[in-house]
Structure 1
Amino acid sequence: MTTLIVMPGTGSDADYAARAFGPAAASLGARLIALEPESDLVGGYLDRVDEIAQTDDDVLVGGVSIGAAIAVEWVLRSVYAHRCIGVLAALPPWSGSPGDSLAALSARITADSIEGDGLEATIAQMAATSPAWLATELSRSWRSLADRGLVAQLRAACSYTAPTEDDVASLPVPLGVAAAPDDPLHPIAVGRAWVARAARASLSAVPLTEFGPAEHRLGDACLAAWRTASAAAPAEP
């Protein structure tokens, strides 16, 4: 059986990732494993995907935001990557150095606020300027992760060097990207650049206004893009 391993974005958790990718996994007949973030955000994810891939014949790896970038990194560097049949990348946030990425800036500001003002005050500030669905989701996940290294996760994310576009060009498996034209923290231009460089890749656009209240649309969009990429012939060198 194929196993789909997914990694949440920063400040999110396995509960959200499971809801986002659960229907996609079911349509594949795949076992879904949604990873919980640890204080060692990047290393923890990479190690646990290695552990799972050691015992599974076929794996798909994916994730949301930084989870998507780490999925690509795993395929490029793991000794178990030969077991991988594809990447499902939802909302890739940046390529290479975070630079002036809004997603990285948001993670840093959130970490500073939690340390300076406290968790509940930070949640209140976030909720006052966010759509109701997002306020509800982040309030839940931030409280869930507060005693499991939330601030360390945010710090790790905002300094993470993601795979570059040149790295993505060497990806040996089909890449399915879901990106939102109306999400400034995860610019659709990043997803388009990844797809343009990868040998076999496709992008499904899904607006934030659609997958926000119905998170499964994000995983479904990734799966649709991956299926398209898998059916395509590799690009000419």
Structure 2
Amino acid sequence: MFESALAAQGMALDAVAPRPGADVVAGYRAALDAAADRPGAFLVGGISLGAHVATAWAADRAPAGLAGVLVVMPAWTGPPDGAPAAAAARATAGQVRARGLAAAVAAARAGTPPWLADELARAWAGYGTSLADALDAAAAQPAPDLVTLGSLAVPVGIVALVDDPVHPLGTARAWAQALPRAAIRTTTLAALGSDPAVLGRAAVRAWRHAAGAG
């Protein structure tokens, strides 16, 4: 989703495979720590949980080479209590434990567009038997709170879907308001289904605007 947009800026994508099970967040943070040790400027970011982890890490570490953060579809602010995405993750974890992955995928296909169900099936399969633990870990992980967001000095590009109830537009707007240097761009589920790279392009455009580059 990010590769072509980053390539247009002369940047290479280093996509991080999730660590299995309950250590999914620790795995992402370890990968970010490794990125900070490399020479040169770099961006961090992610989608949903990945966006939460990258933003919190950026505020905490503030490494010298960090040029900005790409935040796509943030799901909540601070504790996850009551957030639709957290509830959905816990429900899917319960389904997987009770009925197996195939049943969870079938339930997703019954209630989501085909392209999204296909993407979920692909992503979930990558976790193997540790999927339920990873989903529970994601559902319990706090996102950056407003104070943390306010401490992040680098430019941040935010992308939200206007019609996604699981990743509310209001959350993205709250992040944009709290961050000192942020810009937000929006798109739709239909546009994402037609071209997943729309998220990367929108994120880079928002980041460039936040950085005063366009």
Separation (CA, whole Å) in 1 of partners of 2:93 and 2:193: 23
For structure 1, which segment, 104-113 or 136-145, has the greater mean C-alpha deviation from structure 2 after superposition? 136-145
- Per-residue CA deviation, residues 143-185 of structure 1 (Å, 9 max, x unaligned), is 22224x2222101111111100121111110010000110000
8 A contact 2:47–2:72 mirrored in 1: yes
Q: Partner of 1:168 in structure 2? A: 149
2:211 pairs with one of 204, 224, 230: 230
Residues paired across the two proteins, number:
211
- Equivalent of 2:38, from 55, 63, 67? 55
Q: Distance in 1 between matches of 2:179 and 2:124?
A: 34
Q: 1:182 maps to what in 2?
A: 163
Alignment of 1:81 with 2:66, yes or no, is no
In the TM superposition, residue 189 of structure 1 has moved relative to its aligned partner by 0.7
1:204 partner SS: strand
Does the 8 Å contact 1:74/1:81 carry over to 2?
no
Show CA shifts across 1:106-154 (max 9, x none). 000000000001111111111111101011111122122224x222210
Paired position in structure 1 for 2:198: 217
In 1, Cα distance between equivalents of 2:39 and 2:74: 26
RMSD: 1.2
The whole-number CA distance in structure 2 between the counterparts of 1:218 and 1:81 is 25
TM-score, structure 2 normalization = 0.95
Match of 1:144 among 111, 120, 126: 126
- Secondary structure, counterpart of 1:153 in structure 2: helix
Segments ≥4 residues shifted beyond 2 Å: none
Q: Give the secondary structure class of the aligned counterpart of 2:157.
A: strand
Report the Cα offset of residue 56 of structure 1.
3.0
- Aligned partner of 2:84 in structure 1 is 102
- Cα distance in 2 for partners of 1:70, 1:56 equals 22
State how far apart, in whole Å, the 2-side matches of 1:204 and 1:56 are: 30
Opposite residue 228 of structure 1, the aligned amino acid is H
Give, in whole Å, the separation in 1 of the partners of 2:39 and 2:141.
Answer: 28
**Aligned with 1:123 (options 105, 123, 126):** 105
Match of 1:69 among 45, 48, 52: 52
Residue identity in the other structure for 1:113: Q
Partner of 2:3: 22
In the other structure, the counterpart of 1:206 is 187
CA contact (8 A) 2:3 2:12 kept: no
Structure 1: where are the runs of 5+ without partners? 1-19, 233-237
- 1:23-76 deviation line (CA, Å, top 9, x unaligned): 111111101101111121111101111112201321100000011111111111
CA distance in 2, matches of 1:87, 1:102: 24
Gaps of 5+ in 2: none
Q: 1:213 to 1:153 in 2, by over 3 A?
A: farther
